[in-house]
Structure 1
Amino acid sequence: MTEELKTIEIKLQEQDDTHLLFGTHDKHIKIIEETTQTIIRTRGEVIQIQGTKEAIEGAAQVIRKLQELIRRGIQISSPDVITALKMLRSDSLDEFVEMYEEEIIKDRHGKPIRAKNVNQKKYIAEVKKHDVVFGIGPAGTGKTFLAVVLAIQALKKGEVQKIILTRPAVEAGENLGFLPGDLKEKVDPYLRPVYDALYQVFGVEHTNRLMERGVIEIAPLAYMRGRTLEDAFVILDEAQNTTVAQMKMFLTRLGFNSKMIINGDVSQIDLPKHKGVQSGLIHAQQTLANIKQISFVTFNANDVVRHPVVAQIIQAYDQAEKN
């Protein structure tokens, strides 16, 4: 027996920006309709939602939360709608508006940068509370971008004197030997997400000036050996490709008044399998789990802040690997 269809109505207020709420060509409404399996019609000052009782209540909750953001003067876009729907599914929609209350910094265009989901919010909180934080999860969850933004925030506040960004020189299916230049120049193309984050906040020219002055340093992990990193915000990206020895070497570089973020995706290890090399990230997870001053934040496919199909792609590959 099919469940009886019901209808619910939401009355729009004068302060509601309907163009922002509905999206260009009603894009936001279409996303809500498709995800909640409802039919949404707009008639003058009324939004009419039709579907099963549970579906229409969920869609109405999402629309009301988006209305609340707009009334607070926050510009919403498709990713915000998708986040609200994900939070509805995970029963955490109550935290949706609260997530937007904390602005980390503004980008070079004056646009606020905020957490985009509950795990990003947790990650930001853990970085503030701990000097060593591991961010573990799939690509697209915003780990690298957030780490760089938090480093820039610390630099701007004068909490650190420099930002150091590093990654191991392990190829993701390509061969570094065929790339021109020295080790740093060979690793640079692999640090593209780091540069993109810096450029979004500082712009290209200012980033380059800070790099020339040594305020921002981007270097392969091998360059960290023998150093003590003080008054620095240090980010290790692609940490799944470190060996156990490299991870230990990196973590023991931590000096006074410094913070370390170690990001990685344990499903994308490029270390040579035939040699039986263990990932330093997996080993660190097991070895350091009981140290209270170190925090581990785990992201999953639901935290992906790219196109919604990306999360489905990750889940499909995860399932295929399990099978």
Structure 2
Amino acid sequence: MDLVGITRKQGNLSRGDIDRTLHISAPGRELHADPDAPFAAMFRAGDRSYNPRTAGQNEYWEAIQRSDITFAFGPAGTGKTFIAVVCAVQMFQQGKFDRIILVRPVVEAGESLGFLPGDVREKVDPYFRPLYDALMKMIPGDRLRKLLDRQIIEIAPLAYMRGRTLDNAFLIMDEAQNTTAGQMKMFLTRMGENSKAVITGDLTQIDLPRRSDSGLLGIEYILEGIKGIEFVKLKNSDVVRHPLVARIVGAYDRLLKNTADASGDAAQETGEALGKLPEHRGKPSSTSND
């Protein structure tokens, strides 16, 4: 929908409407649909509907529909996790899958949670809050609690998937950049009959002690050409949070690129990039009135 159409529908324009329209119209991100309704609603919950808001998000949603395994790479705020959860809930409610399983590698706890107090859910809840938040937007609280209690919707650390075969399930692995190669292989081989998987990650936010250990690095090279697997790369233009988020992500991207160009080495992490900058104390220069 163009700005005129948005104004007619809403009666006014927000800065976000303008930014999103400019992003959607950017070169190389052309739409392939009716310009008055570029993206069909993915899911309705009560009086709210959820639909892709950028061309990249629409490409991601379509990949999930047609593929058995979809990898989504992209910066914060591009909807990687939310769109995966929306698709999972939609397909579950359509009867295509019997359950939804959401996992994350719990790097902060070293994937070993025995030293933390409480049961498993209490231990991992802080790490899975974004997944709960997404589910709660689409499923009423009482029903969500019942589905969680019956393990029809399961949220667990990645380590708890070992040794299982998951049939008739929609699987989501979030923050996949923090898996090792072995963990990535383990997760991908959990799929049973009539299952679908979405793996999301951001290669600029690897929290492992050694970046090179990430199971998301090189995964496209390993799995290239395998039927039923797709890779989607979301960009800064797909960020749909506060407009400042896209600009902040862009600023960090420029930092990594500029320090790599200046040194001749790839600055893989923000910390490494900052370490290559000239010392800057940030003190104002003193002046004298004498």
* C-alpha distance in structure 1 between counterparts of 2:90 and 2:236, whole Å: 27
Equivalent position SS for 1:218: strand
2:167 aligned partner, one-letter code: E
Cα pair 2:100 2:152 within 8 Å, conserved: yes
Q: Residues 203 and 289 from structure 1, CA distance in 2 versus in 1: closer, same or farther, beyond 3 angstroms?
A: same
| Aligned-pair CA distance for 1:80 | 3.6
Q: Does 1:204 align with 2:141?
A: yes
User: What corresponds to 2:175 in structure 1?
Assistant: 238
Question: What is the root-mean-square deviation of aligned Cα atoms in Å?
Answer: 2.7
Match of 1:166 among 78, 103, 113: 103
Q: Does 1:66 align with 2:6?
A: yes
Match of 2:44 among 84, 101, 106: 106
2:215 aligned partner, one-letter code: G
Cα pair 1:137 1:299 within 8 Å, conserved: yes
* C-alpha distance in structure 2 between counterparts of 1:320 and 1:188, whole Å: 33
User: What corresponds to 2:254 in structure 1?
Assistant: 319
1:160 aligned partner, one-letter code: F
Q: Residues 278 and 118 from structure 1, CA distance in 2 versus in 1: closer, same or farther, beyond 3 angstroms?
A: same
Cα pair 2:102 2:156 within 8 Å, conserved: yes
Matches within 5 A, 1:115-264: 115-171=52-108, 180-264=117-201
Cα pair 2:105 2:178 within 8 Å, conserved: yes
Q: What percent of counterpart residues are identical?
A: 46
Q: Residues 308 and 258 from structure 1, CA distance in 2 versus in 1: closer, same or farther, beyond 3 angstroms?
A: same
| Aligned-pair CA distance for 1:85 | 1.8
Based on CA coordinates, which of the two structures has the bigger radius of gyration?
Answer: 1
* C-alpha distance in structure 2 between counterparts of 1:77 and 1:105, whole Å: 24
| Aligned-pair CA distance for 1:100 | 4.4
Once the two structures are superposed, residues 251-285 of structure 1 have per-residue CA deviations (whole angstroms, 9 ceiling, x without a partner) of: 00111111000000000000012xx6511111322
Unaligned runs of 5+ in 1: 1-60
Q: Residues 75 and 194 from structure 1, CA distance in 2 versus in 1: closer, same or farther, beyond 3 angstroms?
A: farther
| Aligned-pair CA distance for 1:77 | 6.0
| Aligned-pair CA distance for 1:118 | 0.5
* C-alpha distance in structure 2 between counterparts of 1:185 and 1:282, whole Å: 31
2:216 aligned partner, one-letter code: L
Once the two structures are superposed, residues 40-71 of structure 1 have per-residue CA deviations (whole angstroms, 9 ceiling, x without a partner) of: xxxxxxxxxxxxxxxxxxxxx94334257x2x
| Aligned-pair CA distance for 1:186 | 2.6
2:48 aligned partner, one-letter code: K
* C-alpha distance in structure 1 between counterparts of 2:12 and 2:225, whole Å: 41
Q: Residues 78 and 104 from structure 1, CA distance in 2 versus in 1: closer, same or farther, beyond 3 angstroms?
A: farther
Cα pair 1:99 1:115 within 8 Å, conserved: no
Cα pair 1:99 1:118 within 8 Å, conserved: no
User: What corresponds to 2:18 in structure 1?
Assistant: 81
| Aligned-pair CA distance for 1:196 | 0.8
Cα pair 2:30 2:55 within 8 Å, conserved: no
TM value normalised by structure 2: 0.80
Moved more, 145-154 or 280-289: 280-289
| Aligned-pair CA distance for 1:76 | 7.8
* C-alpha distance in structure 2 between counterparts of 1:254 and 1:321, whole Å: 36
Once the two structures are superposed, residues 151-177 of structure 1 have per-residue CA deviations (whole angstroms, 9 ceiling, x without a partner) of: 00010000000000001110299x978
Equivalent position SS for 2:197: strand
The one of the two structures with greater contact order (alpha-carbon pairs below 8 A, sep at least 6) is 2
1:281 aligned partner, one-letter code: L
* C-alpha distance in structure 2 between counterparts of 1:147 and 1:74, whole Å: 31
Once the two structures are superposed, residues 197-220 of structure 1 have per-residue CA deviations (whole angstroms, 9 ceiling, x without a partner) of: 110011222111111122100110
| Aligned-pair CA distance for 1:246 | 0.3
Moved more, 235-244 or 187-196: 187-196
Equivalenced residues, count:
256
Cα pair 1:132 1:294 within 8 Å, conserved: yes
Moved more, 74-83 or 234-243: 74-83
TM value normalised by structure 1: 0.72
Cα pair 2:42 2:49 within 8 Å, conserved: yes
Unaligned runs of 5+ in 2: 260-290
